[in-house]
Structure 1
Amino acid sequence: MHPHLFPTITLFLIILTIALIHCPKSLRADNENYLTCEAPFNCSSLVNLSYPFWTSNRPNYCGHPSFQLDCSSKVPQINITTMNYSVLEINNSSRTLRVARTDYLGKTCPAALVNTTIDNNLFSYITSGDTNLTLYYDCPPPLATLPNLGFYQFNCSINSSTTFISYYALTSTFVSNGNLFGACNYWVNVPVLQSVFPTTATYDAVIAAIDSGFMLEWDANNSRCDTCLKAGGLCGSDPTTSTFACHCTNGTFASGCSTESTSKHPFLLSYILISFLI
């Protein structure tokens, strides 16, 4: 090699090093986001999960901020508007999940008597498949047990001391303003699947219906996610703003993927310099 080439080669290496060092960090990080979120994950009994779900062992930017799963128990849990639900099934194709109220699993006397709540901006009931099972609490002494009319008496205890009379209700008969006989102090609507709605108001039938859960459809920026997927990206969120983001092989974008490679510029510069030297 000719001696006069050494200064030129040295200059080339300096320029190449500077170009690689100053390649925007965000571009490299975005590519890492894609690689991190690319593989599906498992959560307890559920497998092959992806956006909008994520867990404590998976970066939140791989999912939607409101769809974190707790995988610490046998059945995954999700919190919706401060209420915990057991996730029994997830269908990514239909964007639905089957959940059951954790506080009612295997029992009809939870610690707190509150109605089922969901975030209507993110979830919606599937009206063709869900219906409400109403449970009435702290009612007056029974006039009679009315199983033939869809009522069945059960007792609940408060703080293991005070016992009060309650009912399952499988019919709206004798219900006034949402209240059995107009005299019960509390009533709770628990969604259940129409297909397993109890036909007899027995304890086992009611528990089986509640434990089977109900269906919800989610909307986690579905239209923007479809655009992202069609462009070859992965749906996710921005780790800073928590807004929707499309993770692509060449970066993260608000929607879709850029057709321009974000990593080609330093190598393009190298190619030009090498061509010059040759």
Structure 2
Amino acid sequence: MNCLVFSLSPSPSVFVIVLLLFVQVPSSASNSSLFTDCSNQFVCGDISTGFPFWGAGRPSACGIPELELKCENDIARMSINQVAYRVLEIKHEFKILRIAREDYSAGLCPPQLENSTFNPKVFDPVIGYTNLTFIYGCVVTPIVGIPLPGLFTCKINDTDGQNGYIQGGAAGPGDCYGSVFVPVPFTNSPLIWNVTDLEELLKEGFEVRWKFDSAACEECNRSSGVCGINNVTNQTTCYCPDQSSGSKTCALPGMCLNFS
């Protein structure tokens, strides 16, 4: 066992050390609780994960603020920029999420017209995906023999039979009521313009890559700690059993203080 030994003397430095030890006691107790809570895994259906995610027993100090997960009827869900997604798969080794828009699970007529946008400080796009734009509420008269790609109808402002269509890229609505762009797997197949096939493609979801400094967390984990987020600095921190927080790693086991 490695011990730190101090010899009492008239020097006031010893008393300062003792005072600091007592001051850190509340922090240690709080950090010990976070160590326990953040050691728990988020488990929901086929999804099991830890840092950088939080939710359902893992408090906000256990993960990145934008990566909150919820479990409803054994389905993992999350909200990104006001859009609800189902979490279909988490690939930790590649930092990749596969998600599907909740509002498109029942068809191409979502209740709210919100684009699939992602904070570039938190997410990176994944190669192999492209945007498609769904354009709603158009006065469309297809030219005979030249059908519009992916023509469909939706109720807009309580009015049935409003025309919509699909085009490549991220575009605005133009003269139509609104538009929504969503990432889909890149393909040269004409099936992408078939509404039925496209609905199935949307249910399969798309991938995004989350961003954070994994090196700091790996160092923390090697020291038997648990990685989390300091809610004040918004930086990664290491939670350790019965120790104060704020360091990158936990102290080696067997350390002690002996005053003589």
Amino acid of the structure 2 residue aligned with 1:118: F
Please give the per-residue CA displacement for 1:19-71, whole angstroms capped at 9, x wherever unaligned: 9x947122233233223322423023312x10011113222222222211111
Is 1:211–2:203 an aligned residue pair? yes
- Aligned pairs for 1:152-167 (under 5 A) are 152-167=150-165
Cα distance in 1, alignment partners of residues 210 and 226 from structure 2: 18
Cα distance in 2, alignment partners of residues 44 and 61 from structure 1: 23
Listed as ranges, the gaps of 5+ residues in structure 1 are: 1-17, 273-278
Out of 170, 184, 187, the position equivalent to 1:192 is 184
Q: Alignment identity in percent?
A: 26
Stretch deviating more after TM superposition (51-60 or 238-247): 238-247
**Residue number in structure 2 paired with 1:8:** none
- Aligned pairs for 1:6-21 (under 5 A) are none
SS in structure 2 opposite 1:190? strand
Cα separation, partners in 2 of 1:135 and 1:248, compared to 1, 3 Å: same
Please give the per-residue CA displacement for 1:128-161, whole angstroms capped at 9, x wherever unaligned: 221112212222232237788x702111112433
**Residue number in structure 1 paired with 2:132:** 133
Give the TM-score taking structure 1 as reference length: 0.73
**Residue number in structure 1 paired with 2:15:** none
Alpha-carbon distance, 1:238 to partner: 2.7
SS in structure 1 opposite 2:79? strand
Q: Which has the larger radius of gyration?
A: 1
Larger relative contact order, structure 1 or 2 (CA cutoff 8 Å, min sep 6): 2
Listed as ranges, the gaps of 5+ residues in structure 2 are: 1-17
Alpha-carbon distance, 1:78 to partner: 1.0
Alpha-carbon distance, 1:255 to partner: 4.7
Cα distance in 1, alignment partners of residues 248 and 83 from structure 2: 34
SS in structure 2 opposite 1:31? helix
Cα distance in 2, alignment partners of residues 110 and 231 from structure 1: 48
**Residue number in structure 1 paired with 2:58:** 58
Cα distance in 1, alignment partners of residues 241 and 98 from structure 2: 33
Cα distance in 1, alignment partners of residues 129 and 227 from structure 2: 29
**Residue number in structure 2 paired with 1:26:** 27
Amino acid of the structure 2 residue aligned with 1:155: T
Cα distance in 2, alignment partners of residues 157 and 112 from structure 1: 12
Cα distance in 1, alignment partners of residues 74 and 190 from structure 2: 26
- Tell me, yes or no, if the aligned pair for 1:40 and 1:50 is still in contact at 8 Å: yes
Alpha-carbon distance, 1:195 to partner: 6.3
Give 1 or 2: higher helix fraction.
1
Cα distance in 2, alignment partners of residues 135 and 42 from structure 1: 34
Cα separation, partners in 2 of 1:61 and 1:165, compared to 1, 3 Å: same
Alpha-carbon distance, 1:262 to partner: 9.7
Alpha-carbon distance, 1:79 to partner: 1.4
Alpha-carbon distance, 1:110 to partner: 0.9
Cα separation, partners in 2 of 1:204 and 1:256, compared to 1, 3 Å: same
Give the TM-score taking structure 2 as reference length: 0.77
Alpha-carbon distance, 1:98 to partner: 0.6
